[in-house]
Structure 1
Amino acid sequence: MVVEKFVKTKKLNMAYEVTGPEDGEPVVLLHGWPDCPRTWDEVLPHLHNRGYRTYVPTLRGFGSTKFLDDDARRTGGPLAFAADIKEFIDALNLAPVNIIGQDWGASTAMNLSCLYGTDLVKSEVVLSEGWKIFGRLSLEQVKNYWYQWYMTTPQGMEYVRKRQSEFALFMWKQWDPKYQMTAQKATVLTSYFQNPDWAEVTLDTYRQRWGYDPFDEEYADLQASLDATSEIFVPTLNIIGKSDSCTDYKMASDMGDYFTGRFEQQFWDDGGHFIQRERPRDVALAAAEWFK
């Protein structure tokens, strides 16, 4: 049984799990929303077999990760997540490190790569997410993002706060209808949403994204750095499923324009949003090959 460990960052007592060969090259795996660290369980053995030691943190608002200050704003969004993970990597002395991220985890990885380059991120594999797409959404993508604008309404906020598990599982069915989640896996998954901060971090992420919550000025310096450049030179493999009904792969088809280093994009037939759950071996092998 894997023992959950904890490390303190500026804002959090962050839960994480570390497994694999003790002398293995480190890989940090970042889960998305609405998901949890268990999303990597079937990916990890394939990475371990190829000599990688894996570090799987639990993002703010999920599971056992807790804010240190009861009065701190429950800020969501990629800059807050990026700050947390930068401090996590620094605390464990992992840099420069390979990263695999999906959804929120993918956007976090790309923000870290843009902000800190190869001093922090050696190489990255980003799943089910594009880069710099929010200002030019297609109508298909607008349709996919209905849930984000629902959360800007009083009704949506109340739903997320009172019925978080139901809301999250509905999104799974929408985004990945071919993936058959067992009742046991659903129970484990939704247990991570019982964190008292889950709803507030979720709401702040999307409300702040579209201007319905104020920007958290604590991250102003990071935002200024991002505004100064959109280019990423960290080696990046991007994988999006063609059946992903959250992220329309066509919206991300030109993201290579922002990557000045080694870049490859793969669109997997029949892949849904949680592609690491559907095809864990394929994801692990693609990542191991990319990191070589």
Structure 2
Amino acid sequence: MKSITAGCLEIHYHETGPDSGDPVILLHGFPYDPRAFDAVAARLAAQGFRCLVPYLRGYGPTRFLSPDTMRSGQQAALGADLLAFMDALSIPSALLGGYDWGGRAACIVAALWPGRVRGLVSCGQGYNIQNIAQASTPAPAAEEARYWYMYYFHTERGRAGLTLNRNDLCRHIWQIWSPSWQFDAATWAASAPSFDNPDFVEIVLHSYRHRFGGIPGDPAYDGIEAQLAAQPGITVPAIVLQGGDDGVDPPTLHDPHRPHFTGFYARQIIDGAGHNLPQEAPEAFAAAVLTLAARTARD
């Protein structure tokens, strides 16, 4: 494991592959950690890519530099962290791949700083930038039911539950979001320590409360949030992967996120995979990265 000072964080990350390889940054979601990309990174490293897999703010050994920094989990903070990580490592541009929170960070950098992104693999919704202005618009009942955890985290009971029962809660989420993924005890044990980060609870609660517009964000990110409120398009080449068995964000026949992508775009539904797609279907995720790498090399 390596670490680097980037923005307001000391970001810890795993690096696989040759130093001279084309960089690929892989970003995990909630409630997961970099272990989700072990098999993907191994496949890409074998093809000569330099794979970097950071722990997001609030996860694993990543820490804030100052106790006075707001423990924000808002989308703009995640995007700013990724950009700062690239700057700190002097990476002018990279292929980005992520899901859930990590996919959101990747989409934000691709939308606002497209010159830094050679290609994007995004899972689940695809266009993972929150439309906070419309967050209070109710969804169909089945969708609302899938978002129980968001509403739970708006309550102090949810705070207590995440604080006292985080392993039980996070493991339950793994099971219901990926019902066909038969992970074993060793797989869970490899990731569970990442949720013991001292800022995990505050960042998770802030993330879900902020996205509904109920609490303010960190003023340091107001400028980025203002740009994201316009729902900027993504111009870089992109492949969206969706797990056919995703228990929280199941794919639909209609692709409502397609209009947000104005460059090369492909969407694939991966049968037998759930929400944690890179860990459940690493071959498909790695293949998507390789497809974009070949395409951008031609361009």
TM class by shorter-chain length? over 0.9
Compared with structure 1, are the counterparts of its residues 246 and 283 closer, same or farther at alpha carbon in structure 2 (3 Å cutoff)? same
Amino acid at match of 1:272: G
- Partner secondary structure for residue 7 of structure 2: coil
Amino acid at match of 2:202: E
Could you tell me which runs of 5 or more consecutive residues in structure 2 were left unpaired when the two chains were aligned. 295-299
* Contact 2:247 2:275 (C-alpha < 8 Å) held by counterparts: yes
Report the counterpart of residue 100 of structure 2 in structure 1.
103
Alignment of structure 1 residues 72-87 onto 2, 5 Å = 72-87=69-84
Amino acid at match of 2:256: D
TM-score, normalised by the number of residues in structure 1: 0.94
* Contact 2:15 2:53 (C-alpha < 8 Å) held by counterparts: yes
Alpha-carbon separation, structure 2, partners of 1:139 and 1:12: 39
* Contact 1:133 1:251 (C-alpha < 8 Å) held by counterparts: no
Amino acid at match of 1:262: F
Alpha-carbon separation, structure 2, partners of 1:99 and 1:91: 16
Report the counterpart of residue 237 of structure 2 in structure 1.
235
Displacement of 1:234: 1.1
Displacement of 1:19: 1.3
Displacement of 1:230: 2.1
- Partner secondary structure for residue 39 of structure 2: coil
Displacement of 1:216: 2.2
Report the counterpart of residue 121 of structure 1 in structure 2.
117
Displacement of 1:18: 1.2
Alpha-carbon separation, structure 2, partners of 1:255 and 1:55: 27
- Partner secondary structure for residue 249 of structure 1: coil
Report the counterpart of residue 265 of structure 1 in structure 2.
267
Displacement of 1:251: 8.8
Amino acid at match of 1:129: Q
Of residues 282, 285, 298 in structure 2, which corresponds to 1:283?
Answer: 285
Report the counterpart of residue 56 of structure 1 in structure 2.
53
- Partner secondary structure for residue 113 of structure 2: helix
Provide, for residues 112-146 of structure 1, a one-character-per-residue CA deviation record: whole Å limited to 9, x for no partner.
Answer: 111111x1111110112332576464433222111
Alpha-carbon separation, structure 2, partners of 1:21 and 1:147: 40
* Contact 2:26 2:97 (C-alpha < 8 Å) held by counterparts: yes
- Partner secondary structure for residue 181 of structure 2: coil
Alignment of structure 1 residues 156-175 onto 2, 5 Å = 156-175=158-177
Report the counterpart of residue 247 of structure 2 in structure 1.
245
Alpha-carbon separation, structure 2, partners of 1:265 and 1:139: 26
Displacement of 1:205: 0.4
Displacement of 1:214: 1.8
- Partner secondary structure for residue 285 of structure 2: helix
Report the counterpart of residue 224 of structure 1 in structure 2.
226
* Contact 1:130 1:247 (C-alpha < 8 Å) held by counterparts: no
Provide, for residues 187-241 of structure 1, a one-character-per-residue CA deviation record: whole Å limited to 9, x for no partner.
Answer: 1211000111011111110011112322222211101222345211011110011
Alpha-carbon separation, structure 1, partners of 2:226 and 2:155: 29
Compared with structure 1, are the counterparts of its residues 176 and 235 closer, same or farther at alpha carbon in structure 2 (3 Å cutoff)? same
Of residues 198, 203, 206 in structure 1, which corresponds to 2:205?
Answer: 203
Alpha-carbon separation, structure 2, partners of 1:32 and 1:94: 22
Q: Does 1:34 align with 2:36?
A: no
Report the counterpart of residue 130 of structure 1 in structure 2.
126
Report the counterpart of residue 187 of structure 2 in structure 1.
185
Compared with structure 1, are the counterparts of its residues 111 and 138 closer, same or farther at alpha carbon in structure 2 (3 Å cutoff)? farther
* Contact 2:57 2:63 (C-alpha < 8 Å) held by counterparts: yes
* Contact 1:141 1:248 (C-alpha < 8 Å) held by counterparts: no
Amino acid at match of 1:99: L
- Partner secondary structure for residue 225 of structure 2: helix
Amino acid at match of 1:269: D
Alpha-carbon separation, structure 2, partners of 1:100 and 1:79: 17
* Contact 1:130 1:252 (C-alpha < 8 Å) held by counterparts: no
Provide, for residues 236-279 of structure 1, a one-character-per-residue CA deviation record: whole Å limited to 9, x for no partner.
Answer: 11001121011132297121111111111112223211111111
Compared with structure 1, are the counterparts of its residues 251 and 163 closer, same or farther at alpha carbon in structure 2 (3 Å cutoff)? farther
Amino acid at match of 1:87: A
> How many equivalent pairs are there?
288
Of residues 42, 45, 49 in structure 2, which corresponds to 1:45?
Answer: 42
* Contact 2:75 2:130 (C-alpha < 8 Å) held by counterparts: no
Provide, for residues 34-91 of structure 1, a one-character-per-residue CA deviation record: whole Å limited to 9, x for no partner.
Answer: 0001111111121112221101111000000001111221100221111111000011
